[in-house]
Each structure stands twice: as C-alpha cells, then as structure tokens.
Structure 1
Amino acid sequence: MLRYLPVAAMIACAAPVFAEVPQVVTDIAPLHSITARVMQGAGEPAVLLPPGADPHHYAMRPSEAQLLQDADVVLSVGAGLTPWLEGVTEDLSPDAVEMIWAELPGVTLIEITGAHGEGEAHEHEDAHDAHADDHDDHHDDHADDTHDEETHDEHGHDDHDDEEGHDDHAGHGDHSDDPHVWLNPDNASVVARAIAVQLGEMDAENAALYMQNAEAFAADMDALSAEFEGQLSGATGAHIVTHDAYAYFETRFGQRSVGAVTDSHAAEPGAAHIREIQELVAEHDVACVIVEPAYNPGLLAAVFEGRAYEIVVADPLGAEHEPGAGLYPALLKDLGAALARCTK
C-alpha cells in the first residue's frame, strides 16, 4: 500500500537509503519548480501535467503513467486539486513515498465556507505536531505579465470559488479547503523543507545539499514576501476575479477580492450570481478584474454593465514560464504585479 509520511514521521522513521538520487514525480509545474530548486546539484524531478493542462480533470498518457511506476517519491498538492491522482498513484506506485502538500504540518489552509470562497485561514495539524515543532526549531538554526486586451473563452482550470463550486469540489472527496496552497510563499517554504527532509533520509550523501537548497529557497521566499508587502502597502482599490484561484496570495498580502465572476469551473454563472457580482462591483466601485489566461469576455461585459474596467491576466500555474527552478518565483512575481496593478 502506498505510504504517506508527514514531516515528523520522516524524521522519526528511518527511510531506505538509495544508491542513487531518488526518482521524484510531482503533479503540477509550481510544485515541480520548488522540488527542482531543492534537488539542484543532485538530480531532476519529473512533472506529470504539461503546461496549460487542467489539473482537476486530466487523463494521463502512457509516458506519464510510466513516470509514476518508476517513482520513489510522489509529490502532489492534494486531492482537492488532482482528485484523479489518488487511486492512480496507489495502483501505479504502491512502494513509493507519497507527500501531500495540503496535509503537511505547518501549511496554512483557507477553508471554503461561503460565497466566492471566502473563509478563514488555519494551519494544518496532525498527531506529530510536537515533532514538527522540533523540526522547525532545527531549521531556525539554519539560516509584469499583465494585459489589458480581452482574449478568448475561459477554460476554468483553477477555481472552487463558492458554495456551488465547493459542491463540485466536494464530489472529489469532501475536501473543504481551497486547494491552491502553492500561492502562499510561506506554504512553499514548508514544502521545500519537507522535501529536503524526505530526500535526505533516502539519499544521505546529498542530505546536506537538499537542506541547504531548501533553506536558500525559504530565504528567497521571505525576501519576495517583503517585496510584495512593500508593493501592496497602502493599496486600497477593490478588485474582482474570474475564478477564486488567488485567495492564498491575496490573503497573505491583505488584498482579498470582493467577489468571483463564476460560481464553478463546471458551469456558467446564473443570472442571480451575475446580479450579485454587479451589486458588489457598484458597492465597492470596482474597476479592475484579475483573470486567468483564458476567460470569457462576455461575462465581464455583463458584470461591469458599461462601467470602465481594466483586465489584468495572472496565471496561477505559470504555464508561460520555462519549467524548472525559476518558474515558481516568476509566477509569484506575476501575481504580485497583477495584484498591485488592480489595487493601486
């Protein structure tokens, strides 16, 4: 049966030592990017989903199934994002170690509790939190892609925005937390360190390198966060989004959207929801909308009803960036620039 080891268990239990660098497979490009940074100088991870693929609904090709069969470690964001991966991973990689980002101790989650995905942030906890705290203490000892023009119809690859969207999401396994955990850079530092611990247990020869890389990555995340805080300081402009895919980034930097245009990636919004968003736009004097690369301009025209507005594109998956260690920070910089532009 496939093994999932939280951080504390990785520390407490001895993992098999590999003669070679473990073969690591990730689900999406942002997680692949973080893993590539941790493994820099030792090896290269693989990624399952190609750029632009819908992580919620994806049919693997034989070559991708082979990656899972050969994997020593399988890294995924969680069932809320890739529900199809749960059974497949267990079938194809029964002996692999599985790490699920959304289930790691120390990860901040945002619960979907109401309209537009609004909810409270909370930290994931498990029975090994005391060990996780010891692990955190150990680590304490270590040291503009925006566009105004309108494009084509939406494909809706990142959402789970409100109650209707949550119902669709719940059908994937009753997960009540927003799955876009990678858009909080603090969560990225948590997973980088967890990856370093796991790989170090399996590959003692490169353990120090993995941890050094993870700590350098975490320092970069702190620096980027400070940059975004300065960028967004004093920003008061209200904005909406096409899908509520950006809550982790917005919440981290105090700039939550007032609403999402679509209820769910599975269906067009109904007339009642459009009216609700129109009211929010008028109430908050919204003049900017953050959209994913593919969206429906007709919906935006209906929402704004002749009001002037600006469209700012921000891709939560960073599909336009070169895959690898640089993709994740580039994705965050895109989001920071988009949010700053929409809240100026």
Structure 2
Amino acid sequence: MTASLHSLTPPPSLDPLVALTAPDMNAVNQVILSRMQSEVPLIPELAGHLIAGGGKRMRPMLTCASAALCQYNGSRHHMLAAAVEFIHTATLLHDDVVDGSGTRRGKRTANLIWGNPASVLVGDFLFSRAFELMVEDGSLKVLKILSRASAVIAEGEVAQLTAQRQIETREDTYLHIIEAKTAALFSAACRIAPVVAEAGEEAEDALESFGRNLGIAFQLVDDAIDYTSESATSGKDLGDDFREGKMTLPIILAYARGSEEERRFWKEAVGGERTSDEDLSHAVSLLKRTGAIDETLERARTYARRALDAIAPFPAGKARAALTQAVEFAVARTY
C-alpha cells in the first residue's frame, strides 16, 4: 500500500537517504575526487567549482540506495555512481553555456568565470571520465544503460532548445523533453543497481520505473518553483525560465486557459518581447489565477505516487523508507 504523500510529520527530508548512503557516498566521493584530476590544472579547478558547489548528489545517492534496496553488499556501484555524477555534472556545464546562465546553486557559473569554451571542454572531459568508469566496471549491460541515458539526455536538451520561444509547444512534447533531459538519468541511476546486484529483470524494471517517475516529478516541481521561489533558496533567479522563453508546463497550461488578451501576452513574453520584472510579476499572477502552478504540482504528485508504487513490492526497511522520503521531499520542496 502506497503511503500518503502528505502523511509524514515532520516534513519529508532527504536526511534518511543521506544517512543510509553515507558510507557508500564517502567511497563515491573518493572516486569523484580522484577521477576529476588532470595534468591540466584548469580541468580539476573548473570541475571542482561545480562538483563541490553544494549540490544534493541526488542521482548517485539513488544508485547507492537502490543497491541497498536490492541488498547488494559489493562495491561496484561506487564507481558507477561516480559515473552518474560525472554525466550529470557534464550536462550542467553544457546547459549553463546553452542557457547563458550566470548563477547555479547561488554561485557564479563556470562559464561566467572561465568562459564558454572551457566549460564545454571540461564537460566533455567529465563525460569521457564517466565512460572510462563504465568500461572499467566491465558490464556491457551497465554500459548500455548509461550510454543510452547519455544519448537520450542530449536528445532532450536539443528538443528543449528547438521548443524554446515556441508558444505552440504541446504538453506531450514538453513531457517528452523532461523525460529525456531529467528522468532518463534518474532512471538509469536506479536501474544499474539491481544489475550489479544480480537482482533480476523484475527488480530492474521496478527501479527504472521508480527513477523515471521520480525524475519527472522532480522536474515538474522545478518548473513550478521557477515562478514561486527566491534565488536565496532555489539557487537560481526567479523567472529564469520565463526570461529564456522556456516552454514549461505552467506556461503551457496558462496559455491554454487564458483569454485572448492573456494569450497575446504569453506570445510576446515567450517571444522575448516582455521580459521585465513587471512582466514577470504579471506572468506569475496569470499562472496563479489559471491554476497552472497548482496543476503542475498536482501532476508532480501523480508521478510521485507512481514512483512509490514501483518500489512497494520491495521488502520494508531502511532503504525503502529512505527512498519513500526522498520522493516525498521531491514534491514538497521549495528549492
């Protein structure tokens, strides 16, 4: 039976996941630190700026927690969790260049400090390191899962780029984009654990479903937060997606539900003609009035319930409880 998404008191937290995976994550962090080194000093300097930048390390923690759920007692997942984090960090470096971002997690982005060429090339270096770690593991199945996820993420980023400033972007197109650019790595991070644990196809499918649905829920909340949170807590500026003309679900819903005058505003805003602070305030008021933010968060809760259903067949214990709280946290957070 799936737990209620609102039944936990105190509020849901990542603390159980952090506690569960702490010994594993110490080993993962050692791999990360050793493999980001290079004889070219700029590489560890730039990579370290982002890797040590205060991120939650959610994806490698999911690999470690999924291994615990499968009662795996080996150490192969340490290198693979590091590979997952390198893939994620590489995509962030590339994303910030594409988006022209100036802040991430409350700090200046690498591209702002070292420039776009260095950020792209260090991202390439981290991708390469990730593939070295996969090859060293020796499992073709793991290599297939993570390499496929890397390709899907890139496809998702290109799809998002082509949808940017396109007001007619459909909801199914948006969902396809977030499944690719966010959920694919969550899904792969979870699936590789039962592979190394030799837990069987059923466990692999269950954890893949868990990761995919959690990833979608996570991104939906992110897209809602862009219009509700301050940079002091979210680590990015309020309305970044709005100013960049990103077609996220809140805008898609508000545009579909708006009057002719409101739809004209959205066309101009997404087209880059209405990006002032006053325009952003008007956008937020429209999103609230049409229920677009509430609907986006409700969709996130739907995917979160699917994630919880996926791990319900696993034995109760610390691992399942920690993953359950992680799902609860993902949809309750404000940053």
Which TM-score applies when normalising by structure 1? 0.33
Q: Which has the higher strand share?
A: 1
Q: Which has the higher helix share?
A: 2
Which TM-score applies when normalising by structure 2? 0.34
